[in-house]
Amino acid sequence: MKLIKAYNCLFAFIAKTRISKRDLDLRRIHFHTVIVLTTSVLMWAYAATAYFTSSSSTHILIAFLCSTLHLLSPLLFRFTNNAYFIANLMLAAGITHQGSFSFFSGGFESETIIWFGILPMLAGLIAGKKAAISWFITTTVMAATFLFLHQTSYPFPNTVSPLGHLIARGLIIFGWIFLSTSISYVVLVINDSKESLLTDQAQKIDDLFRVLFHDLAGPLNRISMGLKLSARETDPSRKEQGLFIAAKATDAMLDITQNVRKMYALSKGKNDVSSDLCYSPFNESIEYIKKLYAVELEKKNIKLVYDAEKYKDLKVLVEPISFNNQVLGNAVSNSIKFSHPGSTITIRTYPKDQQFHVIEVCDQGIGMPPLLKDALFDINKKTSRTGTNGESGTGFGMHIMKSFIEMYQGKVEVESNDETQPIPGTIIKFLLKAEQI
């Protein structure tokens, strides 16, 4: 765990600029950093071997310079997002190092020339297909050059002692085992992480569609109801009421679509929901809800009760559009749907502590059995039911509501008794940060 923590700290330092600018796939930096850390063990082992077993000062100097350049190459990500350039620089240091060791230990007959074979794979992992092809060509040309010089009897110097050759062979055997294991493991871990991220993003996009399908259905229904009311009534005030309901529902649709755009940006990491949160007057939300659901309340003769005077100064930390439509609107809509005609829906609020307020939407409806209540926020379980007047639903509303409440840094709870209990009904509780009153 300490090793992983240390790596995460190092990665955060290396990738700081790229993370803030979001201009490079972080997997490229992960691959580069991990490959440098693993191959540096071998690079410095060969440099130490040259230092202790080679009689050539040029060989030793090249080994240490290349090992240093190779080790420091990840720091360039702090200054540029050109992964191809950084990868080429790191690999150039590697091929120069191994090429020089091969040159000073027998040329084409040197055991270390086999390390040329790993460079195209490393290039591909770090910088993509273009780099893999480039380094396939480069290493092939290098190996062919050594073969050509060997065939023409070029006198390669052999400044490495027998002990140095033995160490070099040992590094090849154990180095390949170490590299193949560590790099394969890291590739699998990073790919699993990416797959998990993609799954999470797909779920967020799926949630956006659910918001659209679920929350646009309500305003569309109210537009229809308002226009029908206006068409059939002869009383001018009733006609005006119908048009007003349709207009408010149209505004709600525009608000919802704008909010979905914000959610989409948030799912892509392009927006910060905290910038949209504000302390919004709760009474304004209540007035919005009363107007928005006026027809539904009137149709079922349901009374919506709230003491506006008592809590006229209450402000809660929310994003107003989503709170009015997807949170409080959903809660009231569900209460209307599952309440009997002629009943009452009560909205009450009280302080939980100095920071949080509890908001309760209470109805006298049919309630929920325990199994249904327990599955209420699980998007994968069917929770939709028919209302007391045959109203249909999707079952997505509570999941959407919970998602928004969590964005507000709050909580939602549900208490419910079905009609087998002495006092049936449902209470939806929101725990939200409130401005000091």
* Helix (H) / strand (E) containing 415: strand 411-417
In whole angstroms, give the CA distance from residue 135 to residue 91.
9
Q: Give yes or no for residue 20 having a pLDDT over 90.
A: no
Largest CA distance in the chain: 109
Q: Is 85 helix (H, G, I), strand (E, B) or coil?
A: helix
Q: Which two tokens stand for residue 389?
A: 């007047």
Q: What does the pLDDT look like over 52-80, one tens digit per residue?
A: 999 999 999 999 999 999 999 999 999 99
Sheet containing 425-433: order of strands: 303-305, 344-351, 356-362, 425-433, 411-417
Domain residue extents for the chain = 2-160, 278-437
Q: What does the pLDDT look like over 163-188, one tens digit per residue?
A: 999 999 999 999 888 888 887 777 77
Non-local CB neighbours of 16 within 8 Å, separated by 6+ positions: 78
Nearest to 76 by CA among 128, 5, 118, 127: 127
302 contacts 339 by C-beta, under 8 angstroms: yes
The pTM of this model reads 0.53
Residue type, 119: L
Mean pLDDT, rounded, for 245-255: 75
Q: In the CATH hierarchy, which top-level class contains the domain 278-437?
A: alpha beta
CA separation, residue 172 to residues 11, 43, 44, 142, 175 (Å): 28, 11, 13, 19, 5
Nearest to 147 by CA among 107, 117, 185: 107
Q: Give yes or no for residue 221 having a pLDDT over 90.
A: no
